């Protein structure tokens, strides 16, 4: 049985604001080795859209984002093609649109579950690449969602926090499986979920109002799973654009 590279959902590192890396240290050996470790972890997951350093236990402001995330349409999560990643150090959202939309998200830090998460449609992000060069990106759609998800990680947030922040009674955090389920059952549940989501989107054009039989409450999330609550003063979205 292989050991998961991801820290548990209730790990304190997932609630910390990760350390900013001085620009002159980005090309240092320890940081480059951490970046390589993150990329190698990501390459083992064909469905991975992004990864933040805290997810594998390192409290640094580094994220990697799959090249697949930058395509016009949301990529097929079942695409087994090779995954390659772009590196972003000290990423920061400098602008966020007012307009929001709901869509599904999963996370390797919350295995076995999926949520319908409200995110802003467009963001501007500033960061450094792995060579220490400053980059600025204007992002919309799925790419904007991925960056918001990963930048949340380096600020101590996990996607269910976003669901429950303004919707404490939301029923959009969905249980797909747990550790006691057989692999075949887990695959069957995931297949049924994808089919249900797809059918709902075809009929309604979005995922708003979608229901799944097994949901997780705010209390279960904060007290049983994360075993902590987020500190919203660290919210990475610019003021007034939340």
Annotated active-site positions, please? 150
- Number of continuous H segments (helices) and E segments (strands) in the chain: 5, 8
CA dihedral sign, ordered 67, 32, 235, 126: negative
SS3 at position 234: helix
What angle, rounded to 10 degrees, do the helices at 141-153 and 159-166 form? Answer: 100
Alpha-carbon distances of 224 from 56, 218, 219, 221, rounded to whole Å: 21, 10, 7, 6
Other beta carbons less than 10 A from residue 4's beta carbon: 10
Question: According to the 3-state scheme, what is the secondary structure of 72-118?
Answer: CCCCCCCCCCCCCEEEEEEEEEEEECCCEEEEEECCCCCCCEEEEEE
| Cα radius of gyration (the chain) | 17
In angstroms, rounded to a whole number, what is the distance separating the alpha carbons of residues 42 and 45?
5
At 209, give phi and psi (nearest 5°).
85, 0
Q: How far apart are CA 150 and CA 8, in angstroms?
A: 17
């Amino acid at each position: 049985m292989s050991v998961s590279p991801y820290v548990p959902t209730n790990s304190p590192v997932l609630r910390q604001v990760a350390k900013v890396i001085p620009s002159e240290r980005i090309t240092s050996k320890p940081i480059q080795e951490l970046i390589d470790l993150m990329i190698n972890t990501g390459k083992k997951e064909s469905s991975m859209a992004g990864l933040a350093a805290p997810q594998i236990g390192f409290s640094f402001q580094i994220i990697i984002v799959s090249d697949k995330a930058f395509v016009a349409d949301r990529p097929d999560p079942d695409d087994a093609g090779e995954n390659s990643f772009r590196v972003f150090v000290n990423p920061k959202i400098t602008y966020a649109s007012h307009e929001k939309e709901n869509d599904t998200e999963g996370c390797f830090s919350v295995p076995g579950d999926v949520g319908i998460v409200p995110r802003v449609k467009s963001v501007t992000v500033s960061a450094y690449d792995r060579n220490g060069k400053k980059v600025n990106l204007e992002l919309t759609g799925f790419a904007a969602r991925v960056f918001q998800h990963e930048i949340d990680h380096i600020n101590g947030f996990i996607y269910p926090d976003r669901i429950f922040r303004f919707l404490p009674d939301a029923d959009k955090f969905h249980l797909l499986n747990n550790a006691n389920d057989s692999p075949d059952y887990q695959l069957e549940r995931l297949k049924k979920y994808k089919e249900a989501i797809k059918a709902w989107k075809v009929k309604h054009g979005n995922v708003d109002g979608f229901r799944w039989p097994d949901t997780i409450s705010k209390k279960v999330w904060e007290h049983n799973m994360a075993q902590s609550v987020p500190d919203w003063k660290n919210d990475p979205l610019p003021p007034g654009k939340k």
